């Protein structure tokens, strides 16, 4: 394992400190643990909280800031955050208007967020929850019953975050989040596995000309192993499944998300292929993002996300955002 | 070689198309080749042009846009752009106030930009040139006489770009660029080599626990190979050399730049170590950027850049920018 680290047990804390020290006007770390909140708490709006295991940077802390999340709770790498930490986050950002929890569909995440919410409700904090499940690859998986929540979650942060910033009620912000969840689909592929620092070796094996189609963001198996083919062919395989899942005719936002180890050079090539295919399908692209949004540590790979947009979601995508990883 | 590509000969073009199709409000590609310009040309200001080999994404095209570059010319991977292409770029963005060329110090780049400038001058286009040479690692190198221009170049784009946007004259914008060049220093390190698509195999070899200290952005040798040690030790090795080069006492901007294959997780850990050391040195950090700014394809590695700032440079760093890879 060749990584810039000091001690495997400090990876999460040093990383979050390193981010918060870089962008102190946007984010700060709570003393109680790896909980990132906005430097300047905004009252009078619904607060948004998300989180999950570390290893997906810039998710989640990179999306904390005006127009997106109010709080991100980071567990150990690929591990759900503890109930206590989520509870601390809920208390830190709660406002009179309540807190919306945006949780990716992993059994541990959902359980811990819900337990923390119960504790917060006991303190009089109003909470609501949405669970993202945008991954079309597989139905159940290693850590999940039902579909996994993956990169499409970032669109939930953006749109629900914008709705909250506008002053909408908890029910209204939740409805925006649910609208995104209903209209967003993702599928990923790995060229190489990721290496968890504490493990020291790759999480699974792939041959020299082998790829994993439908990979999860923790290296969970996808639908099958395939041969390394051209970018165009890989893109078509992923898009075939995404496009078959819901009717995307009309306008979409496109997110090409990097696995962490794949350079922008390749992500742009993937995007070019995606745009070719969507053009052929008669699907118009309203917005298009390419980069590392929800990584799998150092995995070479990517995912494609399509979000079907209407005027309301377009407005929320265009709304101002000032976070470490998304500025609009 | 496991990469998302279609054909090695199309990598540069498909990549630039993929970027321009994603961000059509900011950048467009000229029909004549891999020349990226602002979608909306701004008259009445000094134009800024840069470029070099591909493989450093988001450099250079990612910094084209309001407040930074007007044009970026991309050669083949790790190869200087041709004189013709640079000439096309110069003609496309020239204004009455002239064009400043920001060239990284590589023999081929400098030669080709200067030949293109001569052709443009023949057309009555006023040009000026600055050459960046921020790499403190080695004096001469594989493709360079004198020090190499590396990630610190991005600060030249930002500050000179802001000065140009303000309406300053060619001489004044050049002076801002030269001020940045005089005050910026960088040093890099590689954990793994990069793989040029057309070559298909890594550009050099590193053992399992070996790193290259002082690596260039094309995989050129640095000062020496070292043992893989802790992030703190690596950071101190790089900072020792950077801090010894000019007097950084006072305030600095810090850029932790990823090699392309190193995830944000590690870059944040590096940043945390850099901030610890600068704190110990009594050097105050005005701004701090962490991410992939000038990569080496898929190299695992990073560089540390320090820019000594005064009120003028702070103002230019803070000025608005709207590019693919830098928004301020």
Query: Which residues does A76 contact at the CB level (< 8 Å), separation at least 6?
Result: A12, A53, A54, A198
The per-residue pLDDT for B142 is 76
| Any A CB within 8 A of B82 CB | no
Structure tokens at B306: 């320090």
Mean pLDDT of A228-257: 98
Condensed to tens digits (0 to 9), the pLDDT of residues A192-228 reads 999 999 999 998 999 999 999 999 999 998 999 999 9
**Residue B270: per-residue pLDDT:** 98
pLDDT score of B213: 97
Residue-level pLDDT at A188: 98
Q: Are A213 and A239 in contact (CB under 8 A)?
A: no
Per-residue pLDDT at A314 exceeds 90: yes
Put simply, whether B195 touches A (Cβ < 8 Å) is no
Q: Does B42 contact A at CB distance below 8 Å?
A: no
Side-chain-side CA neighbours of residue A85 (13 Å): 25
Other CB atoms closer than 10 Å to residue A163's CB: what's the count? 28
CB-nearest partner of A232 from B6, B58, B270:
B6
Q: Report chain B (328 residues): mean pLDDT per 10 consecutive residues.
A: 97 98 98 96 97 98 98 97 98 98 97 98 98 94 88 98 98 98 98 96 93 95 95 98 97 98 98 98 98 98 98 98 98
Sign, CA torsion B164/B87/B218/A262: positive
Q: In this complex, do A18 and B327 lie within 8 Å of one another by their Cβ atoms?
A: no
Mean pLDDT, range A162-181, rounded to an integer: 98
Q: Which of B56, B60, B157, B224 is catalytic?
A: B56
Q: What is the average pLDDT across A17-41?
A: 97
- DSSP code for A8: G
Nearest by Cα to A35 from A93, A118, A111: A93
CA angle, residues A111, A115, A118, in degrees to nearest 5: 145
Q: Cβ of A26 under 8 Å from any chain B Cβ?
A: no
Q: In which band, very low, low, confident or very high, does the pLDDT at A161 lie, cut at 50, 70 and 90? A: very high
Per-residue pLDDT, A142: 76
The whole-number pLDDT of residue A128 equals 98
In tens, the pLDDT along A122-141 reads 999 999 999 999 999 998 87
Mean pLDDT, residues A132-157 = 92
Structure tokens at B183: 């005050």
pLDDT tier for residue A307 given thresholds of 50, 70 and 90: very high
CB within 8 Å of A280: residues ≥ 6 apart: none
A46 part of contact set with chain B, CB < 8 Å? no
CA angle A210, A215, A216 (to 5 degrees): 155
pTM over 0.90: yes
In degrees and rounded to multiples of 5, residue B77 shows phi and psi of -55, 125
Among A276, A163, A312, A147, which residue's Cα sits nearest to residue A223? A147
Residue A305 makes CB contacts below 8 A (sequence gap 6+) with A134, A150, A151, A152, A154, A155, A184, A185, A186, A254, A255, A256, A257
Tokens 């994603």 found at: B22
Q: What is the distance between the alpha carbons of residues B211 and A187, in angstroms, rounded to a whole number? A: 35
At residue A175, the pLDDT reads 98
Query: Average pLDDT for residues A309-320, to the nearest whole number?
Result: 98
* Torsion region of B124: left, alpha or beta (phi above 0 gives left; psi -120 to 50 gives alpha): left
**Other beta carbons less than 10 A from residue A224's beta carbon:** 10
Q: Which residues pair with A327 in a beta bridge?
A: A322
Return d(Cα B266, Cα A314) in angstroms, integer.
34
Distance from CA of A320 to the nearest CA of B (A): 12
Kindly determine whether residue A263 and residue B23, on different chains, have CB atoms separated by under 8 Å.
Answer: no
pLDDT band at A143; cut points 50, 70, 90: confident
Q: Are strands A47-54 and A71-77 parallel, antiparallel or unpaired?
A: parallel
Q: Tell me: the pLDDT tens digits for B235-250?
A: 999 999 999 999 999 9
Instruction: Tell me how close the Cα of A82 comes to any Cα of chain B, in angstroms.
Output: 20
Q: What's the confidence (pLDDT) of residue B25?
A: 98
B259–chain A nearest CA distance, Å: 9
């Amino acid at each position: 394992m060749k990584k810039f680290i000091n001690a495997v047990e400090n990876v999460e804390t040093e990383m979050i400190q390193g981010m918060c020290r870089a962008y102190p006007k946007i984010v700060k770390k709570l003393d109680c643990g790896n909980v990132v909140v906005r430097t300047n708490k905004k009252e009078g709006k619904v607060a948004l909280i998300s989180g999950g295991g570390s290893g997906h940077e810039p998710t989640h802390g990179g999306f904390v800031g005006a127009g997106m999340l109010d709080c991100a709770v980071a567990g150990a790498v690929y591990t759900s955050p503890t109930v206590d930490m989520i509870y601390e986050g809920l208390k830190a950002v709660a406002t009179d208007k309540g807190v919306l929890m945006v949780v990716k569909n992993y059994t541990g995440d959902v359980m811990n967020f819900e337990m923390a919410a119960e504790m917060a409700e006991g303190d009089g904090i109003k909470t609501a929850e949405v669970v993202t499940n945008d991954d079309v690859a597989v139905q159940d998986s290693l850590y999940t019953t039902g579909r996994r929540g993956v990169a499409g979650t970032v669109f939930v942060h953006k749109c629900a975050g914008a709705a909250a910033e506008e002053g909408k009620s908890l029910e209204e912000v939740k409805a925006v989040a649910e609208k995104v969840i209903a209209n967003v689909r993702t599928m990923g592929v790995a060229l190489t596995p990721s290496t968890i620092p504490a493990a020291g070796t790759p999480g699974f094996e792939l041959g020299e000309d082998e790829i994993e189609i439908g990979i999860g963001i923790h290296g969970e198996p996808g639908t099958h192993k395939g041969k390394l083919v051209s970018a165009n062919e890989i893109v078509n395989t992923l898009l075939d499944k995404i496009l078959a899942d819901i009717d995307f005719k009309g306008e979409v936002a496109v997110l090409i998300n990097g696995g962490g180890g794949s350079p922008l050079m390749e992500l742009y090539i993937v995007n070019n292929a995606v745009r070719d295919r969507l053009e052929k399908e008669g699907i118009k692209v309203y917005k298009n993002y390419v980069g590392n949004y929800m990584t799998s540590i150092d995995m070479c790979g990517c995912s494609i996300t399509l979000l079907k947009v209407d005027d309301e979601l377009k407005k929320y995508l265009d709304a101002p955002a000032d976070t470490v990883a998304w500025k609009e």
